[in-house]
Amino acid sequence: MTTTELRLELLWQLSNLNGVPGNEDAVRDFVLRELEGLADEVHVDALGNVIALRYGQGEGKRERVMLSAHMDEIGFLVSFIDDRGFLRVQALGGFDPRNLFARNVTVQTRGGPLPGVLTPGGRPVHLATPEDRKKVPELKEFFVDLGLPADEVRSRVRVGDMVTLDQKARQVGRLTVGKAMDDRASVFLGLEVLRHFREARPRHDVVAVFSVQEEVGLRGATVAAYGAAPTLGIGLDVTLAVDTPGVGPEEAVTRVGGGIGIKVFDSSMISTRWLVDELVDLAEREGIPYQLEVLPLGGTDGAAIQRTRSGVPSVTLSVPTRYIHTVVEAVHEDDLRAGVDLLVAYLR
């Protein structure tokens, strides 16, 4: 078993960047800087995906392996500005409203970022009825307060501006905790894997894709996979680690610290079985900790690769993550290391 050194400060930086579906610019710029010297070709396609190609060894026939991790995070767009200057928002991605009460947010405007507060409409606890206190508000009831006069809000904010939840990444024991670990943890994996092949080339051609608009329907990876025409696909994403109080062990899906997840099933794909078996056998030979993952609901870029053109054998590697789709998504350093080690061993 290897003991790969992880540059966790890079993951912190990725987590702190803002980029909802369709507005991944800051993340894309960061990824492009990090890719310098790591790939033979790098380009950005019409949808905004970053595509990095690292050629394999030799002149003979090689597989063309596509890795794909998405750059976007769940967030909001401004959908309406009312007469008092409060903003209504359109969700981009799957939110649980119970996690959205009284959150600091940032609205990215043409003139720069504006701080705000996201909260649902209604009475505060001092005035709430017993029925009010039991109610979980719907997303349509939330608004953003910018603390500015209505005319100034209307002059600075426009419909379609990006709204993101505020949270700085930090270390909590052996967990890295922050927003957008879904899927910046896997963007991190992709960059670390390419760094391993800076000097020695992989066995096969590697097309590393950092995709856009995954949270609204795997859109970037669908386009990128069609263009890349891979012969093998590996999606890189996070998965549920419900290994916390209040949930039975049969619902945990994975456990943090237990190793990288090798996906068997989710609601978007059934991984190609021989690829699952190859990765399991390799992990066991190399002493790399892994977990087999069955996720009842959810999807990854692996599904987009699998269904491109006439079909591509595909699997997804998943980083176990606590508190997914909140601002305290938590990943374990041992699982990140196992993901890098398994990918490097497979591509080597």
Domain CATH for 287:
3.40.630.10
| Separation CA 43–CA 49 (nearest Å) | 8
- Number of Cβ within a 10 Å radius of residue 37: 8
Do residues 44 and 28 make contact, with C-beta atoms less than 8 angstroms apart?
A: yes
Q: Residue 59 has what pLDDT? A: 77
| Separation CA 291–CA 259 (nearest Å) | 6
Structural domain containing residue 132: 75-165
Q: What angle do CA 175, 176, 179 make, to 5 degrees?
A: 130
Strands (E) located in the chain:
41-44, 50-54, 64-70, 75-81, 87-92, 103-109, 112-120, 142-145, 162-165, 170-172, 175-178, 205-211, 232-240, 260-266, 269-270, 290-294, 314-322, 329-332
Q: Clarify whether residues 111 and 64 are in a common domain.
A: no
Q: Residue 105 has what pLDDT? A: 98
Q: Clarify whether residues 54 and 95 are in a common domain.
A: no
Is residue 235 included in any domain, yes or no? Answer: yes
| Separation CA 252–CA 1 (nearest Å) | 26
pTM, two decimals, is 0.95
Which residues, 6 or more positions from 178, have their beta carbon under 8 angstroms from its beta carbon?
12, 15, 16, 167, 168, 169, 170, 327, 328, 329
Domain count, the chain: 2
Q: Residue 3 has what pLDDT? A: 58
**What is the CATH classification number for the domain harbouring 147?**
2.40.30.40
Q: Are strands 232-240 and 314-322 parallel, antiparallel or unpaired?
A: parallel
Is residue 172 included in any domain, yes or no? Answer: no
Q: Residue 132 has what pLDDT? A: 73
| Separation CA 204–CA 196 (nearest Å) | 14
Tell the residue number behind the tokens 């237990």, with chain if given: 258
Q: Clarify whether residues 336 and 204 are in a common domain.
A: yes
Per-residue pLDDT of the chain (348 residues; tens, 9 = 90+): 455 789 999 999 999 999 999 999 999 999 999 999 999 999 999 999 999 999 999 777 899 999 999 999 999 999 999 999 999 999 999 998 888 989 999 999 999 999 999 999 877 777 778 887 778 888 999 999 999 999 999 999 999 999 999 999 999 999 999 999 999 999 999 999 999 999 999 999 999 999 999 999 999 999 999 999 999 999 999 999 999 999 999 999 999 999 999 999 999 999 999 999 999 999 999 999 999 999 999 999 999 999 999 999 999 999 999 999 999 999 999 999 999 999 999 999
Q: Which of 34, 73, 214, 293 is catalytic?
A: 214
Q: Clarify whether residues 187 and 329 are in a common domain.
A: yes
Q: Clarify whether residues 109 and 22 are in a common domain.
A: no
* Residue 131 a catalytic site member: no
Q: What angle do CA 218, 136, 300 make, to 5 degrees?
A: 15
Q: Clarify whether residues 265 and 341 are in a common domain.
A: yes
Q: Clarify whether residues 279 and 335 are in a common domain.
A: yes
Q: Clarify whether residues 153 and 50 are in a common domain.
A: no
Q: Clarify whether residues 92 and 37 are in a common domain.
A: no
